[in-house]
Amino acid sequence: MKTTGTHYVIAFLIILFLNFLLPRLMAGDPLTAIYGQEVLIQMTPALKLRLTESFGLDQPLWEQFFRYVFSLFKGDLGYSFYHKTPVLKAILSYLPWTILLMGTAFTLSGVMGVVLGIESGWRRGRKIDKSLLVGMMSFSGFPSFFVGILLLLIFGVELRLFPLHGAQTAYAGLSGLGLLWDILKHLVLPLSTLVVVFLSGDYLLTRSTMVTVVKEPFVLVAKAKGLTDRKIRYKHAGRNSLIPVVTATGVRFGSMIVTGALLVEVVFSYPGMGSLVYDAILTRDYPVLQGSLLVITIVVLMVNLMVDLLYKKLDPRTASAQ
């Protein structure tokens, strides 16, 4: 465990340096990216100098990096060039919505995908398996924004069952249970879009693993022991099919938190980290990019750690292999 810990720390430091360097390697600079587009503003030399100084762009790169690391240890993620607020404040205003949307989507699609995958794999070749398989394969082909627009048009515009935009009804003065209902109502369509998109992946992965596991001798033994079908499916075969799905989810989680949601956020005007990072790229907002990449890095490293620990529970053989 000690060596694993060191590995994580080294990985973290390298990623920290890359997170600092990569945004600065992009063509274009924050000053032009943020202030260049509007022809009516008056970019006087005095203003340009002031902005360059406040962005720290006049300092040599190594000095900028050390300042960044230093303030990081103080818990200060810097000040956004574009949003003109502390980076931490900006991230914290978007992150909860992303966790709500993506977290729920991941959980729902994970649970549904695994259950359907187990059922399908158990009944491989039969009618229910075939129909589920065909259904899922067709779903996996749709891009997220297409599904989103489709659901929005049908359930939002035509049937008027759900709101057309936002995470909640702005300034409606709701609180308590009313607010909860409002947020849930706004959550349904973007959530359904993401679940549809994620579901097929988890399902197919579980099903294919299940199909191989079912042929293992221990399943025959379990049957011979007289255990119920359901118990064998879940407690014995199913549990052993989880490892690929858990690995895949762990790998996807960190990046999905940001990139996966962007198109859905645009279609539904939903707040989230996707839009924050996309805007930061367009405005070359280095502090926000560094901050968001840092958050993603920490999340990915933590999830990796959890997946590592989960392996031991799912398959005790891996513990002894270490």
Give me the residues that bind other proteins (CB under 8 A), please: 26-29, 32-44, 46-47, 50, 54, 79, 82-85, 90, 93-94, 97, 115, 119, 128, 149, 152, 156-157, 160-162, 164-168, 170-171, 178, 181-182, 184-185, 188, 230, 233, 266-269, 271, 282, 284
What 3-state DSSP class applies to 38?
Answer: coil
* Smallest separation (angstroms) from other proteins to the CB of 165: 5
Q: Which is nearer to other proteins, 204 or 273 (CB)?
A: 273
Q: What is the rounded CA–CA span in Å between residue 188 and residue 161? A: 10
Compare residues 170 and 224 and give the one whose CB is closer to other proteins: 170
Residue 151 tokens read as 């659901």
Q: Which CA distances in Å does 297 have to 182, 256, 291, 293?
A: 32, 12, 10, 6
Least CB distance from residue 224 to other proteins, whole Å? 22
Question: Given the complex with other proteins, which of 8 and 145 has the nearer CB atom?
Answer: 145
Query: What tokens does 21 get?
Result: 């360097």
Which residue, 2 or 127, has its beta carbon nearer to other proteins? 127
Question: 57 phi and psi, to 5 degrees?
Answer: -75, -15
Which tokens in the block code for residue 26?
Answer: 């992009």
Cβ closest to other proteins, residue 72 vs residue 188: 188
Polymer length in residues for the chain: 322
Closer to other proteins by Cβ: residue 156 or 260: 156
Residue type, 121: G
Within 10 A of 65 (CB to CB), how many other CB atoms are there?
A: 16
Minimal distance in Å, beta carbon 15 to other proteins? 23
In contact, 163 and 121? CB cutoff 8 Å: no
CA–CA distance, 126 with 129 (Å, rounded to integer): 5
| H helices, E strands: number in the chain | 16, 0
Q: Which is nearer to other proteins, 210 or 307 (CB)?
A: 210
Counting Cα atoms < 13 Å in the Cβ hemisphere of 39 gives: 0
Minimum separation from the CB atom of position 286 to other proteins (A): 13
Q: Which residues pair with 86 in a beta bridge?
A: 79
CB 183 within 8 A of CB 233: no
Q: How far is the CB of 33 from other proteins (least distance, A)?
A: 5
Q: State in angstroms the smallest separation of the CB of 148 from other proteins.
A: 10
Hey, CA dihedral for 201, 206, 207, 208, is it positive or negative? positive
Nearest to 120 by CA among 3, 205, 24, 2: 205
User: What are the phi and psi torsion angles at 26 (to 5°)?
Assistant: -65, 145
Nearer to other proteins, 184 or 319 (CB): 184
Smallest gap from Cβ 35 to other proteins, in A, equals: 5
Kindly state the smallest distance separating residue 38's Cβ from other proteins, in Å.
6
Q: Where do the H-state alpha helices sit in 123-257?
A: 127-141, 144-151, 176-213, 217-225, 229-231, 239-255
Report the nearest approach of other proteins to the CB of residue 178 (Å). 6
Residue 149 or residue 227: which is nearer to other proteins going by CB?
Answer: 149
